[in-house]
Structure 1
């Protein structure tokens, strides 16, 4: 059971979606397509190579799948459906194209450090069957795309009302700001690395631009992208009250909050900041001083 416990909340989230009168069809279509995508792009390559890094291809393109599904099968207001579809297509496509670049350049021929770090967790939790636990973990990413990560899009795309709520305006504005911040942080990091290579310096700490205020501004911005979607989904969730059983409606609302929590835990502890810093401290002599002076996740002034 210890191997499969991480799948339980994701399976329950998917079950709620499938039991929903309003979201059942789009949820079923999305789940089927995510199964096909992850089986071919993630699970099979992970089984053959023993590497989990293919998740970096599967999960962002899974977001693209969500965007396509809600565009063609969302029965809500056309403008609302289009906007949430574009949000998922841009968010997934940006990371998905970069993942394909990594694959084509051969960077995925070795396990990415954040997935190599998982072995430490498996040993700590007494999980010795590495092939099984790898499959469970990559499947959990696919199930997240089937359940909580799809939830904001499915709810928003179900809203037939043409009137725009202040929550949707705030959510849309926050999404644009967070998406721009994440893109800027990535560009600043790439520019810093390029500059250091040109200067012949290696293993230096990037503390330029947004990286002065957070050790992981890209992860923080990615989390805010999801918080923006949750905020934008609130009016559409309220609109579901009359068409859903009370228990399902409450669980859908709880699921929106859980989507934010899932992304926070993932970006900070699971495959985000904590694994990255484990290797940065070993590799970069100046990183400990950077840790002492700069917030890890939430942007702020120097300590």
Structure 2
């Protein structure tokens, strides 16, 4: 049971959408395509190679599927449908194309450190069957795309109102700002690495630009991308009050909160900040000092050791 427990919550989230009055058909199609995608692009390569890194292709490609299906099958206001569909397609394509480029360059032939850290976590939890744990981990990430991560798109795209609320404007502005920040952080990191390579310096700590204020500004911005979508989805969720049973309506609202919580724990603890730092401390001599002066996730001013 300890292997399959992670599937329960995400399966329940998918069943909630299937049992709703508004999302049954599109959720059935989305869930089926997500599972097919993950079996072919993630689960089979994992089985053949013993490496989890293929998740980096499958998960964002699943976001593209959500965007395309939302565009094709949603019956809400056309402007909302087009906007939220393009958001999912843009976010997913950016990450999927990056992962495919790494695959083309042969970088997926070596397991990414964050997935090596997963194996350490599983061993600590008594999960000695690593092959099974990898497959379960891949499947539940596919189910995440079929459930909680699809909820903001489905809610927004089902709203028929022609008027835009203040919360929708605020949410999309947060999304746009966070997407820009994430892109800038990635470019700053890439620029830093190129500069260090030219200078012949290895294993240096990137503490320039946005990286002065957070040790993982890209992960924080990715979380805020989802929070922006969630905020933008609130008016559409409220509009469903008369169309769903009270229980389903409340659970759909809880699913929005779950999407934020899930992305936070993933970006900080599971495949984000904590796994990255486990290896950075071992690899980069100056990283412990960086940890002492810079926040791990939420941006803030640099501090001295005496401030602690």
TM category (shorter chain) comes to over 0.9
User: Alpha-carbon deviations, 1:143-183, whole Å to 9, x = none?
Assistant: 00000011100111111111101110000100000000000
* 1:295 and 2:295 aligned: yes
In 1, distance between residues paired with 2:128 and 2:174?
A: 43
* 1:251 and 2:257 aligned: no
1:1-303 pair list within 5 angstroms: 1-303=1-303
User: Alpha-carbon deviations, 1:220-245, whole Å to 9, x = none?
Assistant: 00000000010000000001111101
Shift of 1:49: 0.7
In 1, distance between residues paired with 2:264 and 2:198?
A: 35
Unpaired stretches in structure 1, ≥5 consecutive residues = none
Number of residues paired by the alignment?
A: 303
In 2, distance between residues paired with 1:152 and 1:243?
A: 17
Shift of 1:260: 0.1
In 1, distance between residues paired with 2:79 and 2:134?
A: 40
Shift of 1:29: 1.1
In 2, distance between residues paired with 1:35 and 1:120?
A: 26
In 2, distance between residues paired with 1:274 and 1:61?
A: 25
In 1, distance between residues paired with 2:262 and 2:135?
A: 19
Structure 1 stretches of 4+ with a deviation exceeding 2 A read none
In 2, distance between residues paired with 1:33 and 1:127?
A: 29
In 2, distance between residues paired with 1:36 and 1:122?
A: 25
Q: Normalising by the residue count of structure 2, what TM-score does the alignment of the two structures yield?
A: 0.98
User: Alpha-carbon deviations, 1:114-162, whole Å to 9, x = none?
Assistant: 0011111111110011111110001111000000011100111111111
User: Alpha-carbon deviations, 1:49-97, whole Å to 9, x = none?
Assistant: 1111100000001001100000000110000000000110111111111
SS at structure 1 position matched to 2:148? coil
In 2, distance between residues paired with 1:5 and 1:187?
A: 38
SS at structure 2 position matched to 1:117? helix
In 1, distance between residues paired with 2:144 and 2:73?
A: 20
In 2, distance between residues paired with 1:37 and 1:113?
A: 24
Q: Normalising by the residue count of structure 1, what TM-score does the alignment of the two structures yield?
A: 0.99
Shift of 1:193: 0.2
Q: Which is worse superposed, 270-279 or 28-37? A: 28-37
Unpaired stretches in structure 2, ≥5 consecutive residues = 304-308
Shift of 1:32: 1.2
